[in-house]
């Protein structure tokens, strides 16, 4: 289960190990940068003391990464890995892929550490995606680009939309929740600032600790998967033979599966005259791919990456066909197609267990270190006064539910954006927009706006520099 399959020598082995370490460093930084999102509310509402809160959060971040593969699948990791079409890069030059990965990782770490140093809550997800876009864009613009594609814009737009919508959702839902609490809860002490070491009522403290736990867990499951996606990019770039497809891939067996799927579509085309052309076109694609698989050299990395790309394309197309009502009428054909889609996904979404463990440890340890700067910003500098029990509970409830839902749907979202916007929304619901510290809010919004262009430029520049030395 935890077997590490590395088949490299000399300089390439050293560079590969350094890239793996750099991914772990990114997740470590992600941990202490984003820890505040889970623990700030429980600390400032006196629900938990700082050290126990941070340790508790670290444990649940660790468990979130581990459990995500079994609860939510690796959808988020797959979306991150698909952001850069590695198969296009690797068919040209392996050194280009390596330079892209190194530049993206270093750029993301620099921006994350910089925003952490100044105590600005900034999304690690936002940072990483901007860095990947930067190297991809520069790659596509280099001389002789021709048909080069450096960014999977379809996936990029989906990810950016989720990152854009999530903070707006967090802000508005926190306001709604605060008004609900005001109308339903008779104990008005929860709307007042804690005095001295006054702890919240037991029921509210349980909610705050519970939501802190959920935010930590879901942060691990969502952001941890992004780290796993980065690790997968590294492994495919250096060792496509070992990691482009799942280790149980058998080309003869898979070719037979493609043949059965093709025959099923051809049978259905005779039963559905209106959709005959569409079904036959899909059957032809399967036939061509079947022939490619039969001639596939499983020791040739570029061929495996092409196969991986085609599997992803076919899976999406066939899902649409199977999900269309009354298109596939025979149950036996439905079963064959669904089994085939399952195999297509299984071969392209494989993630080695040791990478999940490594990312879990990096994120968990990082969570327990360097958390104070961002905690102070969220707890003291977003609002003009101390956070109340109700404000902390509202922000955490919104954050935990939003991030949990996003993880379940396989959508990469920013824990930082959701929680900090939730805190701001709760503050506004209490005493209006005047309750916000304009300077802090301005810095957070600027970081939100500037992260993408800044990381695109930073990682793109680093890529131009690094590619001359690899």
Q: How many CB atoms neighbour CB 291 within 10 A? A: 12
Domain assignments of the chain as residue spans, ordered by start: 10-242+353-466, 246-348
Contacts (Cβ under 8 Å, ≥6 apart) of 158? 79, 411
Task: Tell me which DSSP letter residue 379 carries.
Answer: I
For residues 238 and 241, what is the distance between their CA atoms, to the nearest angstrom?
A: 9
What's the pLDDT band for 253 if we cut at 50, 70, 90? very high
pTM summary value: 0.76
What's the pLDDT band for 2 if we cut at 50, 70, 90? very low
Contacts (Cβ under 8 Å, ≥6 apart) of 167? 414, 417, 418, 420, 421, 448
Task: Tell me which DSSP letter residue 383 carries.
Answer: B
What's the pLDDT band for 1 if we cut at 50, 70, 90? very low
For residues 134 and 148, what is the distance between their CA atoms, to the nearest angstrom?
A: 15
Structure confidence at residue 143 (pLDDT): 75
pLDDT of residue 37 exceeding 80, the answer is no
pLDDT of residue 438 exceeding 90, the answer is no
Q: What is the chain's mean pLDDT, rounded?
A: 81
Structure confidence at residue 113 (pLDDT): 87
For residues 43 and 52, what is the distance between their CA atoms, to the nearest angstrom?
A: 10
pLDDT in tens, 333-344: 999 999 999 999
Using left for φ > 0, alpha for ψ between -120 and 50, and beta otherwise, residue 370 falls in left
For residues 218 and 63, what is the distance between their CA atoms, to the nearest angstrom?
A: 9
What's the pLDDT band for 425 if we cut at 50, 70, 90? confident
Rg for the chain, CA atoms, rounded: 24
Q: Which residue has the higher pLDDT, 396 or 281?
A: 281
Question: What mean pLDDT do residues 184-205 have?
Answer: 77
Q: What is the DSSP string of 40-57?
A: HHHHHTTSS-HHHHHHHH
As a 3-state breakdown, the chain gives helix, strand, coil percent values, each rounded to 5, of 75, 0, 20
Of the listed ranges 241-255, 398-412, 453-467, the least confidently predicted one is 398-412
Which tokens belong to 45? 């509402």
* Most confident stretch, 99-108, 236-245, 333-342, 379-388: 333-342
What is the percent of the chain where pLDDT is above 70?
86
For residues 293 and 253, what is the distance between their CA atoms, to the nearest angstrom?
A: 10
Which tokens belong to 15? 């560079």
Contacts (Cβ under 8 Å, ≥6 apart) of 238? 8, 12, 15, 16, 19, 94, 98
């Amino acid at each position: 289960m935890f077997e590490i399959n590395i088949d490299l020598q000399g300089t390439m082995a050293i560079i590969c190990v350094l890239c793996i370490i750099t991914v772990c460093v990114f997740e470590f930084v992600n941990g202490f940068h984003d820890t505040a999102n889970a623990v700030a509310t429980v600390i400032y509402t006196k629900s938990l003391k700082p050290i126990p809160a941070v340790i508790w959060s670290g444990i649940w971040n660790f468990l979130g990464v581990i459990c995500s593969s079994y609860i939510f699948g690796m959808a988020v990791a797959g979306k991150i890995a698909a952001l850069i079409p590695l198969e296009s890069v690797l068919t040209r030059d392996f050194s280009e892929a390596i330079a892209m990965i190194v530049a993206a990782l270093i750029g993301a770490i620099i921006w994350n550490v910089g925003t952490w140093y100044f105590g600005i809550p900034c999304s690690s997800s936002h940072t990483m995606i901007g860095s990947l876009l930067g190297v991809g864009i520069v790659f596509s613009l280099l001389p002789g680009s021709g048909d080069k594609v450096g960014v999977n814009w379809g996936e990029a737009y989906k990810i950016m939309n989720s990152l854009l919508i999530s903070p707006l959702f967090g802000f508005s839902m926190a306001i709604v929740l605060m008004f609900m609490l005001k109308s339903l809860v008779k104990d008005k002490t929860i709307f007042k600032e804690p005095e001295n070491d006054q702890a919240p009522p037991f029921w509210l403290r349980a909610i705050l600790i519970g939501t802190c736990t959920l935010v930590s867990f879901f942060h691990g499951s969502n952001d941890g998967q992004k780290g796993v996606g980065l690790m997968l990019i590294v492994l495919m770039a250096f060792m496509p033979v070992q990691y482009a497809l799942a280790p149980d891939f058998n080309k003869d067996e898979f070719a037979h599966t493609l043949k059965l799927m093709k025959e099923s579509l051809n049978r259905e085309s005779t039963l559905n005259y209106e959709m005959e052309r569409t079904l036959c076109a899909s059957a032809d694609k399967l036939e061509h791919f079947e022939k490619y698989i039969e001639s596939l050299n499983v020791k040739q990395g570029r061929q495996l990456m092409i196969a991986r790309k085609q599997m992803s394309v076919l899976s999406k197309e066939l899902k649409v066909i199977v999900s269309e009502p009354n298109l596939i009428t025979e149950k036996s054909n439905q079963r064959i197609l669904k089994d085939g889609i399952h195999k297509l996904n299984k071969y392209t979404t494989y993630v080695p267990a040791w990478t999940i463990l490594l990312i879990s440890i990096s994120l968990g340890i990082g969570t327990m270190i360097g958390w104070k700067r961002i905690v102070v910003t969220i707890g003291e500098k977003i609002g003009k006064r101390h956070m109340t029990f109700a404000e902390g509970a509202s922000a955490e409830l919104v954050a935990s539910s939003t991030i949990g839902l996003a993880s379940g749907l396989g959508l990469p979202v920013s824990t930082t954006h959701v929680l900090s916007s939730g805190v701001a929304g709760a503050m506004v619901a209490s005493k209006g927009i005047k309750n916000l510290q304009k300077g802090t809010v301005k810095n957070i919004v600027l970081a939100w706006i500037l992260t993408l262009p800044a990381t695109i430029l930073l990682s793109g520049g680093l890529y131009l520099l690094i590619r001359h030395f690899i």
